[in-house]
Structure 1
Amino acid sequence: MGGVDGPALESLREALRGPVVAPGDTGYDEARSIYNAMIDRRPAAIAGCVDVADVRAVLSFARDTGTAVAVRGGGHSGPGLCLADDGLTLDLSPMRWAHVDPEARTARVGGGAQLGDLDHAAHAFGLATPAGIMSTTGVGGLTLGGGHGYLTRAFGLSIDNLLSADVVLADGTFVTASEDDHPDLFWALRGGGGNFGVVTSFTFRLHPVDAVGVAVTLWPVDRTREVLQWYREFLPAAPEELYGFFALLTVPPGPPFPEPIHGRKMCGVVWCYTGDLADDRLEKTLTVVNAPGPPAFHFSTPMPYPALQTMFDQLLPKGLQWYWRGDFFDRVSDDAVAVHEKYGQNLPTALSTMHLYPVDGATRRTGAGDTAWAYRDAVWSGVVAGIDPDPGNAGMVRQWCVDYWSDLHPHSMGGAYINFLGEQESADRVRGTYRGHYDRLAEVKRAYDPDNFFRANQNIPPPAA
């Protein structure tokens, strides 16, 4: 492992337009902080890249000094894979921009952009693309893992709407990957994570989305069995313009929730409707929420799409303790319902939760082998998340998450959304997440990163020669 200090550090600073922050510098602790405060790593340097030239310079420096590199986009990595102790963090956050072509209905987005940047730029023209449920999530990490969100049932995954990507490879070569150029790399980037290079920009297809119908429906947590049994049948059969993720949660204080239910454990669904909102169409669609029993709370309203994307930002700001694990599900069996019922009644902290995100609908219109995403037959992408502001509770929320996931995993499809894997999970778990696509991904890795230079990720090593 090479060093990043003294003359070497100064040479890196001279080579970049962006800032380079190292231990002892003012702002170092802020520069190394990421969304998940449970991660406490000390890189040898954090190199901010304002353009492709900076990216190439950082990679050249890392190769010359033998320094390990981790790549940071939005900094939302749950397991903190964007930081490496004593390594070099290539920080794309200065490349935070989004340019929209309203006539072509496309957006070109910088590698350090957050979803809110894309949503804001596209919404000015009444456009959007499927990408997450929080505006602070990084576009890069979310997309390279596949990317699902409120618009997925209507328009597919983020990668289903990715048209091209600008990539700097480990040797410094700059390429644009698309269906026509470097198609093998383009295939791998769509779900294969950060294994293949530094993506400095993404170009997405956009869809007409302006105001959406938003609703939140909650039932007491002791109704979890009835509600989840109803939801598992209703949602997959619903029109694609209706999206709703199921959650176990503690009701936060404040609007739109009335004071009598503040702090109560609940199960519920957060809905997004992209259909026609005329004639109270959303509420007519959601009259079915009474089927499992009258809800304790139901609220609906039209809302600009970017407002929906920011709805959880204040509830879940940067700096909380997070521990999560996920799995894909093609059904929610009665045995799985019993697991959710058990752990929902024992949420360990006010912010700890479980979500089942729908990944059916339009996602099925992309072929099973067309991208690296290997679970086109999944119906839900589930995640269990232990969350709390107090570092003293980190062990508790972690154990609750591990126990919950361990009991639920036997009822899953075996693999998970790559962005919901933790750092501690095994190579077999990564292989299982890619199913039969793994060997093809490994061959692409050998072609574009034969030395496994990019390994601070859910790693797919190149096969031995």
Structure 2
Amino acid sequence: MVGSQSPPAAAAPSTETAERVSQRDWELLARALSPRSTLYRPGDSGYPPLALPFNHRYAGIRPAGIVACGAAGDVRTSVRWARSVGLPAVPRSGLGHNYAGYSATTGLLLNMARLNGIDSTPLPGARSRTRTYGRMRVVHDAGTVTVGAGVTNGDLHPMLEDRGMFVPTGRCPTVGVAGLVLGGGIGFSDKMFGLTCDRLVSTTVVLADGSVVKASEDAHPDLFWGCRGGAGNNFGVNTSFTFQYEQFQGDVGVYELRWSLDSALPVMAAAQRIAVNTLDDKRFHLRVGMGTHGLTRDEIRANAGVNAIGQFYGHLDELRDILAPLLAIGTAEERARNKASVREVTPGEASVLLSATTPVQQFGAKSAVLTARRLLTDEQVAAAAEQLLEWPGSDNEDGAGFAMFALGGEINQVPPDATAFVHRNGVFILAAETSWADYDPPSVATANLDWLREFYFAIFGDKPPPQSYQNFPDPTLKDWRRAYYGANYDRLVRVNQKYDPTNFFSYPQAIGT
């Protein structure tokens, strides 16, 4: 049972609109769909699992109907139908991870999971480039792979790895590739190969009027620009994406470092120095953070710790040299364990090792983009560590804390206006998160959200960094337009006015609202 939802942060459309849709209208939609798609209404056996978003915080937002889209043409049919009866149509590409609940609706939910095809096309060898990084041989720009909008990271990784192919995607296997790429797409290979959106070659989009366009640098380039970082559920419904892939052979270096919270200050200071020193070294990837979990104050204190994980495209001795300041921190037991964690594995093993889901059950987040001028000071780290121990607790083992994902390399080589993803001068994206269990009482949900706000304030005070990551949406963020999109926002509005002039695809933080 999902019993402790906080008040929905995602403004849901009025249920009165859905109630005005007649039974005959629903029957017309069902008949118009191809055999590959299915309409589910409340009361149907297939409705509950599709209605429930991965983020159970928004489980109370129930769609009037769900189309499980098995054909791109049925997305078009559904959008046209929804517009004709006055219902919003909201796509859900993965399981509904959105931190702010923007893939939940009381209108028509378009579940894209059945659009899960994956097709690859090799390019002529003359158009590719071969490079060697340690024991890894990479053929850059080896070909293209087209994926349906229902494909998740967990679907794509094994298929590509079996063929020695690679596209930089995220670390959470249940996140949809569509939502990932539309908001940018960070992961453990983005410094080497760019963001997920940087590898996008084209995308097929169903617009609000039901027309279908294929956007690329050559066709509808303004829409293509907006789809690379403008966030999901803007402009239209993307039904497929074509990416440029790499081909690889060999091993990569990985590391998993852990310390007690007592080492927070030296670890965060060393990790930030390493990130700055390796900002242009696309071979090195880092995620560092602190967190805890537990029910009681003693459990929360005992479980609190600091960690750093990542991978390296190069020789192990080079990786150990880079990590030396971190490997020297901690107790003798911690140092020995951390040193042993530095090793070589296959790319497939690395993706499994480094994968992790977003928090489960119910969760929220706040983010910030840290530049070289706004890295965390010792005082900020100490304040964060102190506030971490004040986490109210929950049975949800994902707990709370923050993670910092290193930027640089190929990411920062792209001009901030070349795509809609504006965050091209950062050193880290910081995500502060909290989570709680479905069966926690409402007071626990409230306490967690209050704690998240206080945790973020403890770090940044009343002057947080001006930029935030649009794929970690925060419904309480006031100036979200500039935080997510910076100087690119006005151009995004013009794209939206052209392709969705009536704002049919809308939510509280949609482009143009």
Matches of 2:21 and 2:268 in 1, distance apart?
Answer: 53
| Cα displacement (A) at 1:4 | 4.0
Higher mean alpha-carbon deviation, 431-440 vs 99-108, is at: 99-108
* 1:173-210 deviation digits (Å, cap 9, x = unpaired): 11111111111111111111121111111111122445
Match of 1:338 among 367, 382, 385: 382
Matches of 1:353 and 1:231 in 2, distance apart?
Answer: 17
Matches of 1:286 and 1:231 in 2, distance apart?
Answer: 9
Residue 81 of structure 1: aligned partner = 102
* 1:287-317 deviation digits (Å, cap 9, x = unpaired): 342344454642233334344444476x748
Checking the alignment, whether the CA contact within 8 Å between 2:274 and 2:322 is kept in structure 1 is: no
- SS of the equivalent of 1:213 reads strand
Residue 304 of structure 2: aligned partner = 265
- SS of the equivalent of 2:258 reads strand
Checking the alignment, whether the CA contact within 8 Å between 1:215 and 1:301 is kept in structure 2 is: yes
Residue 468 of structure 2: aligned partner = 416
Residue 327 of structure 2: aligned partner = 290
Identity %: 30
Matches of 1:38 and 1:82 in 2, distance apart?
Answer: 12
Residue 269 of structure 2: aligned partner = 229
Residue 253 of structure 2: aligned partner = 213
| Cα displacement (A) at 1:424 | 4.1
Distance change in 2, residues 1:39/1:143 (3 Å): same
Checking the alignment, whether the CA contact within 8 Å between 2:387 and 2:455 is kept in structure 1 is: yes
1:201 equivalent in alignment to 2:245: no
Match of 1:328 among 364, 369, 385: 369
Checking the alignment, whether the CA contact within 8 Å between 1:220 and 1:267 is kept in structure 2 is: yes
Checking the alignment, whether the CA contact within 8 Å between 1:84 and 1:456 is kept in structure 2 is: no
1:344 alignment partner AA: L
Unaligned runs of 5+ in 2: 1-16, 124-141, 295-299
* 1:110-166 deviation digits (Å, cap 9, x = unpaired): 111101222122112222122111111110111100111100111221111111111
Residue 255 of structure 1: aligned partner = none
Checking the alignment, whether the CA contact within 8 Å between 2:258 and 2:305 is kept in structure 1 is: yes
- SS of the equivalent of 1:418 reads coil
Checking the alignment, whether the CA contact within 8 Å between 1:214 and 1:308 is kept in structure 2 is: yes
- SS of the equivalent of 1:458 reads coil
Distance change in 2, residues 1:153/1:287 (3 Å): same
Distance change in 2, residues 1:105/1:49 (3 Å): same
Residue 455 of structure 1: aligned partner = 506
Report the TM-score, using the length of structure 1 for normalisation: 0.90
- Count of equivalent residues: 449
- SS of the equivalent of 1:105 reads strand
Matches of 1:325 and 1:384 in 2, distance apart?
Answer: 5
Matches of 1:8 and 1:441 in 2, distance apart?
Answer: 34
Write out aligned runs for 1:75-224 (5 A). Answer: 75-85=96-106, 87-103=107-123, 104-194=142-232, 195-209=234-248, 211-224=251-264
Matches of 1:429 and 1:345 in 2, distance apart?
Answer: 29
1:384 equivalent in alignment to 2:448: no
Residue 16 of structure 1: aligned partner = 33
| Cα displacement (A) at 1:457 | 6.4
Distance change in 2, residues 1:95/1:271 (3 Å): same
| Cα displacement (A) at 1:411 | 5.9
Matches of 1:391 and 1:359 in 2, distance apart?
Answer: 37
| Cα displacement (A) at 1:347 | 4.4
Residue 6 of structure 1: aligned partner = 23
Checking the alignment, whether the CA contact within 8 Å between 1:35 and 1:318 is kept in structure 2 is: no
2:45 alignment partner AA: T
Checking the alignment, whether the CA contact within 8 Å between 1:141 and 1:193 is kept in structure 2 is: yes
1:72 equivalent in alignment to 2:112: no
- SS of the equivalent of 1:275 reads coil
Checking the alignment, whether the CA contact within 8 Å between 1:243 and 1:271 is kept in structure 2 is: yes
| Cα displacement (A) at 1:348 | 4.3
Checking the alignment, whether the CA contact within 8 Å between 1:4 and 1:44 is kept in structure 2 is: no
* 1:321-341 deviation digits (Å, cap 9, x = unpaired): 111111111132314323322
2:375 alignment partner AA: V
1:131 alignment partner AA: T
Match of 2:284 among 236, 242, 260: 242
Distance change in 2, residues 1:10/1:306 (3 Å): farther
Unaligned runs of 5+ in 1: 253-260
Distance change in 2, residues 1:10/1:425 (3 Å): farther
- SS of the equivalent of 1:206 reads strand
Report the TM-score, using the length of structure 2 for normalisation: 0.82
Residue 9 of structure 2: aligned partner = none
- SS of the equivalent of 1:437 reads helix
Matches of 1:28 and 1:306 in 2, distance apart?
Answer: 35
Matches of 2:448 and 2:357 in 1, distance apart?
Answer: 15
Distance change in 2, residues 1:120/1:185 (3 Å): same
Distance change in 2, residues 1:5/1:28 (3 Å): farther
Higher mean alpha-carbon deviation, 95-104 vs 444-453, is at: 95-104
2:323 alignment partner AA: L
CA RMSD of aligned residues (A): 2.4
Matches of 1:312 and 1:45 in 2, distance apart?
Answer: 37
Distance change in 2, residues 1:4/1:208 (3 Å): same
Matches of 2:319 and 2:257 in 1, distance apart?
Answer: 13
Checking the alignment, whether the CA contact within 8 Å between 1:245 and 1:270 is kept in structure 2 is: yes
1:246 alignment partner AA: V
* 1:217-244 deviation digits (Å, cap 9, x = unpaired): 0111021111111111112212321111
Distance change in 2, residues 1:113/1:151 (3 Å): same
